[in-house]
Structure 1
């Protein structure tokens, strides 16, 4: 719900999100364009957040390359983007800088490939992560990895093993529990799976993503994301576990996109020049925020 170019963020953008009962707003930037970002841009945005009383919990770096590509020129290119992104995150005063591992499947970073799970791929991944961690330590910026069952870091157990192997307290994992549901049984008995995920990798997760799951249609298994509170998961348990782990830590709403637009006569997005689809997407986030606040209240979890 923020502009694609974070340099265009206004006080009104932040105030509009704050009116949903949110205290933070995250954004990302394409790694190809990070060189355009100047320190003065970051200071302006940092001051806007401070003026609005909002936090920047996460700054994400966008790229298509893979951290364990066998081509060293590809790895250097993506590592250069990430290093610049870490510097920008520090200048923005972002709590965490978000990266992903990528995939050797050319279809995308979250597309599966057997080539992702070789000894050679693992060695290249840990080499790249050590280089990233060194840069993060140099500027005192914590980097978090978004992991997923379709990627090289495909389970809570793998996540902890990789973080332990790299050995830096400036490299952590996002608590994106939805990304680590592997079977239909786990979805339908979600309390057990959520507890397992938190038990295994909770200690290396300083920031989280709050999502839900629905089972999609089709003759094979489709585990799809859903608006929090509208799906199958025991979100009360997820919120309780998160509060016990990080009582002051953020869980972020994400990946909500309206298929169709709406154009009501009165809407906060009109002042921001939003399209009908952007206004419809905003309503999905409003619903998600209401649901999470309700579930948290019922579960005895304070949100502040």
Structure 2
């Protein structure tokens, strides 16, 4: 994986343990496997910007949340072993089957209260292991906008809570005023952005490679540069054959 990313023009990745045949959120972690991941990344010259630790943080079943939090604790405990200090989260949905599918109960006070209770525990673990947590506004999740992400930061007030910002997750349709949306996101979240995700969205909502959809990436990067952001830009939602082109596209915009 790492050598392929390097060959396509990338100097860092967001890593999921599923890439080495493990569950993305395993019940236990083997030190030899983790050291092997770190060695493979170092040999390729590709950094690990973040480790994926997504589970449904507002799942309607409390037992499912407890299991997810326990698995998250394992990732936080070992994140630095593979070379990263950022683990990404999914704020979740009340849908019991798909953590990325919208549910109308996401908008109720009970969902927000559940998220705060879960995030307080996650933040305590992050403090214990000195690893940051990356939350990403997602239109189908309980944190669906920049405003809600900013509210979560105010409610939790943890120095380990950071933002993963993806423009495709805050632009709802081709009619959206992207200049206004991006300006709002940078004003509310700019100081807390740890990494940027770069996928694109077609007019019908389908995910496509960056530069092939409705997202005005030059405008987005213009707003992003104004914040002084100099962190990793991670692309996803693309076919392997598109990776070199997207790397060139994003590198040009980020320069």
TM-score (norm 1): 0.76
> Is residue 143–residue 171 contact of structure 1 (8 Å, CA) maintained in 2?
yes
Q: Deviation of residue 32 (structure 1)?
A: 4.8
2:248 is matched with which residue: 267, 283, 290? 290
Structure-2 change in CA distance of 1:243 and 1:40 (3 Å):
farther
> Is residue 209–residue 236 contact of structure 2 (8 Å, CA) maintained in 1?
no
Question: Which protein has greater RCO, CA pairs closer than 8 Å, 6+ apart?
Answer: 2
Whole-angstrom distance in 2 between the partners of 1:184 and 1:48: 41
> Is residue 31–residue 61 contact of structure 1 (8 Å, CA) maintained in 2?
yes
> Is residue 85–residue 130 contact of structure 2 (8 Å, CA) maintained in 1?
no
The Cα RMSD (Å) is 2.0
Can you give the 5+ residue segments of structure 2 that lack an aligned partner in the other structure? 18-22
Structure-2 change in CA distance of 1:185 and 1:130 (3 Å):
same
Q: What's 1:200 paired with?
A: 188
TM-score (norm 2): 0.89
Matches within 5 A, 1:1-304: 2=1, 14-29=2-17, 30-35=23-28, 37-63=29-55, 66-186=56-176, 189-216=177-204, 223-256=205-238, 281-294=239-252, 296=253, 301-302=254-255
Compare CA radii of gyration and give the structure with the larger one.
Answer: 1
Structure-2 change in CA distance of 1:290 and 1:89 (3 Å):
same
Q: Deviation of residue 211 (structure 1)?
A: 2.0
Q: Deviation of residue 245 (structure 1)?
A: 3.1
Listed one character per residue, the Cα deviations across residues 111-168 of structure 1 (whole Å, up to 9, x for unaligned) are 1112122212211110110100110111111110222112111110011101110110
Give the SS at the match of 2:42.
helix
Number of corresponding residues: 250
Whole-angstrom distance in 1 between the partners of 2:33 and 2:247: 29
Structure-2 change in CA distance of 1:71 and 1:105 (3 Å):
closer
Can you give the 5+ residue segments of structure 1 that lack an aligned partner in the other structure? 3-13, 217-222, 257-280
Structure with the higher strand share, 1 or 2: 2
Give the SS at the match of 2:16.
strand
Whole-angstrom distance in 1 between the partners of 2:69 and 2:5: 33
